[in-house]
């Protein structure tokens, strides 16, 4: 005999409803992105303690040891590269480099682009025209060619890479924030602040800037993946992090000559780059849906 609950609902139906409710709640949160980004942050912060081996040192006698599940040993879970260095240790330390580059580039590029976007959208007219034309010029410049030219002139360095990446993303912040400000400055509370005699800096900082914060957060989330991908691309071309510092892009580049015999050297960091970029993209989509009231009602 089947147990019945309140209103004649069976125990099986109650459990099924709870399961559906749990799955519905999980869909409301970017669970996969949170897990991937949590592991990424853990590796970046705890690299000196988590990494099983020295990411810089290796023995040539241990070169190209395959991963453990493909005939290797437990001492080198993801194998070794052409210099005998542990791939897992370099992958973990490379996460620290990627996080550092992303945070610094977002800090400088995001702040600069946001300031220009606030000024452009609020003042309009000639100021807006000049700033937006500068943004258009910025988007028309080939970053890779500029990076290669500057690397030839000054040599590859972390400072040069950070400057290039900040230059890469500031235009997106300026354009998105400017569009948000054009709407916010027509709101009644902003007009009342002007009537009350509030100064222009106070109106921008106290009344308009908070309203543009949601847009900034969403843009920043999308740009993190772009920055990590750009860093990997520049490091692959030799215009990024100089060796022997481990970065995912340089790891892919160092293994490209051995792709037929030691595929794991390039494949492992390549998969890490793809996962991180995907996680930040999904998180950005979720944040956009959450902060936009029109999308939240769908």
Q: What percent of the chain has pLDDT over 70?
A: 88
* Fold (CATH) for 44-53+61-296: MetI-like fold (1.10.3720)
158-186 per-position pLDDT tens digit: 888 888 888 888 998 999 999 889 988 88
72-81 per-position pLDDT tens digit: 888 888 999 9
Question: Residue 134 has what pLDDT?
Answer: 93
Domain boundaries along the sequence of the chain? 44-53+61-296
Q: What is the mean pLDDT of residues 214-236?
A: 84
- pLDDT-derived band at 106 (thresholds 50, 70, 90) equals confident
- pLDDT-derived band at 233 (thresholds 50, 70, 90) equals confident
Question: Residue 174 has what pLDDT?
Answer: 92
Average pLDDT, the chain: 83
Question: Residue 14 has what pLDDT?
Answer: 43
Query: Has residue 1 got a pLDDT over 50?
Result: no
- Look at residue 270 and give its three-state secondary structure: helix
* Cβ-proximal residues to 294 (8 Å cutoff; 6+ apart), any chain: none
Q: What are phi and psi of 53, to 5 degrees?
A: -145, 175
- pLDDT-derived band at 130 (thresholds 50, 70, 90) equals very high
Looking from the CA of 283 toward its CB, the CA atoms found within 13 Å total 23
H helix intervals, the chain = 11-27, 31-45, 47-50, 87-123, 125-140, 143-154, 158-184, 188-195, 200-202, 209-236, 248-255, 264-291, 293-296
Question: Residue 18 has what pLDDT?
Answer: 52
């Amino acid at each position: 005999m089947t147990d019945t609950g309140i209103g004649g609902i069976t125990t099986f139906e109650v459990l099924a409803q709870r399961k559906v409710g749990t799955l519905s709640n999980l869909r409301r949160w970017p669970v996969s992105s949170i897990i991937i980004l949590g592991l990424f942050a853990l590796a970046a912060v705890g690299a000196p303690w988590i990494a099983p081996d020295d990411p810089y040192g290796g023995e040539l006698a241990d070169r190209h040891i395959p991963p453990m599940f493909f005939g290797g040993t437990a001492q080198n879970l993801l194998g070794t590269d052409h210099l005998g260095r542990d791939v897992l240790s370099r992958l973990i330390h490379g996460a620290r480099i990627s996080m550092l580059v992303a945070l610094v580039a977002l800090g400088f590029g995001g702040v600069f682009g946001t300031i220009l976007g606030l000024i452009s959208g609020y003042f309009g007219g000639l100021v807006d025209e000049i700033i937006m034309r500068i943004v258009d010029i910025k988007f028309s410049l080939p970053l890779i060619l500029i990076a290669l030219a500057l690397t030839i002139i000054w040599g590859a360095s972390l400072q040069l890479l950070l400057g290039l990446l900040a230059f890469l993303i500031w235009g997106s912040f300026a354009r998105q924030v400017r569009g948000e400000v054009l709407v916010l400055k027509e709101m009644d509370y902003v007009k009342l602040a002007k009537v009350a005699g509030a100064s222009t800096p106070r109106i921008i900082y106290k009344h308009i800037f908070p309203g543009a914060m949601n847009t900034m957060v969403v843009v920043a989330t999308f740009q993190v993946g772009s920055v990590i991908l750009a860093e990997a691309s520049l490091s692959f071309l030799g215009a990024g992090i100089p060796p022997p510092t481990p970065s995912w892009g340089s790891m892919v580049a160092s293994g490209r000559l051995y792709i037929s015999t030691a595929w794991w050297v390039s494949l492992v960091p390549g998969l890490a780059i793809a996962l991180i970029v995907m996680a930040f993209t999904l998180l950005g989509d979720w944040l956009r849906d959450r902060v936009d009231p029109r999308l939240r009602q769908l």
